[in-house]
Amino acid sequence: MLYHSILRPILFRLPPEAAHEMALHFCEAGLRPRVLRSMMARRYASEPFKDLRRFGLSFNSPVGLAAGFDKNGVAVEGLSALGFGFIEVGTVTNLPQPGNPRPRLFRLPADKALINRMGFNNDGARRVAERLSINRPACVLGVNIGKSRAVAVEDATADYLASFESVYEVADYVAVNVSSPNTPGLRGLQNADALQALLQALQARNRELATRRATNPLPLLVKIAPDLDEHALEAIADVALGAGIEGIIATNTTTNRAGLKTSASIVEACGEGGLSGAPLRSRSTEVIASLYRRLRGRIPIIGVGGIFSADDAWEKICAGASLIQIYTGFIYEGAGLVRDINKGLQERLTQGGFRNLDEAVGSSVKAPVAA
Ligand SMILES: Cc1cc2nc3c(=O)[nH]c(=O)nc-3n(C[C@H](O)[C@H](O)[C@H](O)COP(=O)(O)O)c2cc1C
């Protein structure tokens, strides 16, 4: 209510990136005092989900904050007071970089969408890891890693390995981003051979580091684009299983601009970038269902793309997502969305007679698999 009637109108008067910086600053500095964080945590609290274990980690809620909101891990403590079960920081790259020139973030309110070509602006993996070693969220912490722009695609593996080593100590899981449309050549790493080489190298380093520190290897996930055909999705699922990847995040933003309500001239004026929000919802759900059919529950899928309500989150879960993430919905609906989704999912579980979330995962695609 407060968000829709007061905060959003103020934030939406500002240029999108300035509004984002302000919101992030509020979560960082405004929620630094422990007493304020506890107040927010009480306001946004919901019943913890039962038996919610994914890739060896326990989650209080299946609702996560998607990568790109807190790229530098500056506000994880405050953000975790808003009811998220997990927060994915990043994308971080091995080399600090400024990203693309501004303006690089655009709102399409008629479509409840955003277009961005941020270009992995971040402080660099080492600096972000230092920060995260001090600031810990009260929930699961993922770190998303990508390729530094100055590094050629052919040399991407060494660059990803360096970032992986930097964040190894502070991350509960690491997401390998090969799907941003804003780093030239990056999406080519989704090609089966390239992806296999990259993921195998990361897993080898993961095992080495774990042996050296006498710990378990970190759960390694891969984040993919929605702009892939069925054949490519199957190949990625097979590569992920073969490389011992612990989960797939589906999906990143799309380069497709079909079916938007916003006038073509406005969309064109935004220029290149990834489209997120409501127009991405059904495509991302299709990708989740395709992956689920191929993976048959062997590894979890994190569903992300166009979630604005508990119904949208439930649809993703029934299509095969074991966890979900939000970004654009959080911008349009505010923090109340996290609580609404948590509450709405609990209600749907009770109404449907499900004992826990796992029983609902993939329930709308199970029949075709068995047939
Ligand atoms: C401004 C902006 C920046 C983003 N930055 C990243 C990023 O750095 N790394 C990444 O993996 N995804 C990034 N994303 C993609 C989101 O994590 C998410 O996959 C996508 O927006 C779809 O979800 P949504 O429709 O809920 O926004 C970004 C999205 C937006 C809108």
User: What is Dmax (Cα atoms) for the chain?
Assistant: 57
In this structure, what are the phi and psi dihedrals at residue 350, rounded to the nearest 5 degrees? -65, -50
Question: What is the share, in percent, of the chain residues with pLDDT greater than 90?
Answer: 81
Q: Which atom of ligand 1 is nearest to the CA of 304?
A: 23
Distances (CA, A) of 91 to 135, 174, 199, 370: 17, 10, 17, 38
Contact at 8 Å (CB) between 362 and 303? no
Mutate to test the pocket of ligand 1, among 327, 328, 333 (most ligand atoms within 8 A of CB): 327
- CB of 187 within 8 A of CB of 254? no
* Residue 144 Cβ < 6 Å to ligand 1: yes
Integer Cα distance of 241 and 216 in angstroms: 18
Distance, CA 214 to ligand 1 centroid (Å)?
34
Show the tokens assigned to 275. 């489209």
Task: Look up the CATH number of the domain holding residue 228.
Answer: 3.20.20.70
Asked if residue 12 belongs to a domain, the reply is no
Over the stretch 296-314, which tens digit does the pLDDT of each residue have? Answer: 999 999 999 999 999 999 9
- With beta carbons less than 8 A apart as the criterion, state whether 338 and 307 touch: no
The pLDDT, as a whole number, for residue 366 is 62
**136-159 confidence digits (pLDDT tens):** 999 999 999 999 999 999 999 999
For the segment 346-350, the average pLDDT, to the nearest whole number, is 95
Q: Is it the case that residue 32 has pLDDT exceeding 50?
A: yes
Separation between Cα atoms, residue 3 and residue 65, nearest integer Å: 18
In the chain, how many domains are there? 1
At residue 218 the predicted structure's pLDDT band, cuts being 50, 70 and 90, is: very high
Cα 203 to ligand 1 centre (Å): 25
Which residues lie below 8 Å from residue 27, measured CB to CB, with a gap of 6+? Answer: 70, 75, 78, 79, 82
Range of the domain at 170: 21-370
Mean pLDDT (whole number) for 320-328: 98
Q: Does ligand 1 have an atom closer than 6 angstroms to the CB of 253?
A: yes
Decide: 324 and 317 in contact? Cβ < 8 Å: yes
- CB 145, CB 163: distance < 8 Å: yes
d(CA 1, ligand 1 centre) in Å: 25
CA distances from 36 to 75, 87, 132, 327, 344 (A): 14, 19, 21, 23, 26
Q: Which of 252, 255, 315 to mutate to test the pocket of ligand 1 (most atoms within 8 A of CB)?
A: 252
SS in 3 state form for the chain?
CHHHHHHHHHHCCCCHHHHHHHHHHHHHHHCCCHHHHHHHHHHCCCCCCCCCEECCEECCCCEEECCCCCCCCCCHHHHHHHCCCEEEEEEECCCCECCCCCCCEEEEHHHCEEEECCCCCECCHHHHHHHHHHCCCCCEEEEEECCCCCCCHHHHHHHHHHHHHHHCCCCCEEEEECCCCCCCCHHHHHCHHHHHHHHHHHHHHHHHHHHHHCCCCCCEEEEECCCCCHHHHHHHHHHHHHCCCCEEEECCCECCCCCCCCCHHHHHHHCCCEEEEHHHHHHHHHHHHHHHHHHCCCCCEEEECCCCCHHHHHHHHHCCEEEEEECHHHHHHCCHHHHHHHHHHHHHHHHCCCCCHHHHCCCCCHHHHHC
pLDDT at 2: 79
Residue 180 is among the residues annotated as catalytic for this protein: yes
Tokens of 319: 């299509």
* Cβ atoms 286, 257 nearer than 8 A: no
Could you tell me if residue 6 is inside a domain? no
| Euclidean distance between CA atoms 44 and 152, whole angstroms | 44
Residue 90 banded pLDDT, cuts 50, 70, 90: very high
Looking at the domain assignment, is residue 9 inside a domain? no
- Asked if the structure places residue 7 within a domain, the reply is no
What local confidence, expressed as pLDDT, does residue 371 receive? 37
Q: Which of 80, 179, 180, 290 is catalytic?
A: 180
